Amino acid sequence: MSKESQMHIFAQAVKEGSFSSAARHLHLTPSAVSKQISALEDRLGVRLLNRTTRKLNLTEAGARYLEHCQRILNDIENAESEVGGMRDAPRGILRVNAPVVMGARRIAPLLVEFQERYPEVEVEMNLTDTRVDLLDTNDDVALRIGEELYDSSMIARKICKLRRIVYASPLYLEKFGEPQKPEELLNHNCITYNEPDYLNDWPFINCPGQKLLRIKGSFISNNGEAHHYAALQGLGIARLATLLAGEKIKNGELVEILRDFEPPSRLYFWAMYPQNRYVAPKLRVFIDYLLEKLSPIPPWDQYE
């Protein structure tokens, strides 16, 4: 078996966490996977994996070798995409890395139409809120939320602007009243973060005194989705991106408040990919599709 094939088997075994899972993905037998990784270790003269009955653990040498494997396999795929049969029609596996909430609630529903348009593109979406380095992974593109992003190794495309707003349920407002000025939030139960702490400093404009208001409340979480559902149930007032709340505001389940004090948004949804990587047709059409569906005003903000 070729060195490239052994690299591919090794990388897949690490990704899947077991020889049997890798074998199913590669349409091989577990014994064939084990045999090829043993042959690879013999050829290199080092142990790459520590095997237990339940999982595989990379050795130090294995971790270093995996980094090289991922880069080499990506380079091979990109080279074949550029000069081979992928000149015109988008096809192949598109690996997308996205934040958990954004990916699950906003990107995944768009994939049905995308794959109907491009049936030869297979999408593999990994959801994580942990920052990833695309130069060290197999992902083709990372979708991220943030302000201006600067990274000389990456190309960052703005997909759309995101808004953070203050809102509450009609039930809460009927029971406790609607604040008319930001400082009145100090007398309300606000939904807060335990991390990162700076998200508990809510910014406002058009008001005297403090531009940042430190809010407090009885429900604390590090997850925006949990905040959203707590607000829906009338637990308190939340400040979150409209990508979570847009439809609920449109149908009246939530009410946007303090709109006149909302600061201009500097938050954007980005698509990022390595500077030195060939932009395959599958990636190009995916980014164009996101721009078509989400720019300039994303659907969750079209409720006014």
Q: What is the CATH number of the domain that holds 59?
A: 1.10.10.10
Q: How many domains does the chain have?
A: 3
Q: pLDDT (tens digit, 9 = 90+) per residue, 234-260?
A: 999 999 889 988 889 999 999 999 999
- 270 and 147 in one domain? yes
- 176 and 156 in one domain? no
Q: What is the pLDDT of residue 147?
A: 82
Which pairing describes strands 267-274 and 141-146: parallel, antiparallel, or unpaired? antiparallel
- 125 and 43 in one domain? no
Residue-number span of the structural domain to which 301 is assigned: 87-162+265-304
Q: How far apart are the first and last CA of the chain?
A: 61
Which pairing describes strands 121-127 and 92-98: parallel, antiparallel, or unpaired? parallel
Mean pLDDT to the nearest integer, 223-234: 93
- 279 and 150 in one domain? yes
- 122 and 1 in one domain? no
* Domain CATH number, residue 147: 3.40.190.10
Look at residues 69, 84, 99 and tell me which one is the last residue of a structural domain. Answer: 84
- 175 and 228 in one domain? yes
- 171 and 234 in one domain? yes
Mean pLDDT to the nearest integer, 210-228: 90
- 195 and 142 in one domain? no
- 284 and 243 in one domain? no
Q: pLDDT (tens digit, 9 = 90+) per residue, 185-209?
A: 999 999 999 988 889 999 999 877 6
Strand extents, DSSP E, 169-266: 191-193, 201-203, 212-214, 219-221, 238-241, 255-257
Look at residues 64, 84, 104 and tell me which one is the last residue of a structural domain. Answer: 84
**CA nearest neighbour of 12 among 1, 27, 99, 2:** 27
- 1 and 77 in one domain? yes
Mean pLDDT to the nearest integer, 106-111: 95
Q: Is residue 116 within a helix (H) or strand (E), and if so which, with residue range?
A: helix 111-117
Look at residues 84, 115, 141 and tell me which one is the last residue of a structural domain. Answer: 84
- Quickly count: other Cβ atoms within 10 Å of residue 118's Cβ: 19
pLDDT exceeds 80 at position 120: yes
- 278 and 131 in one domain? yes
Mean pLDDT of the chain: 89
**CA nearest neighbour of 79 among 4, 21, 3, 188:** 4
- 72 and 6 in one domain? yes
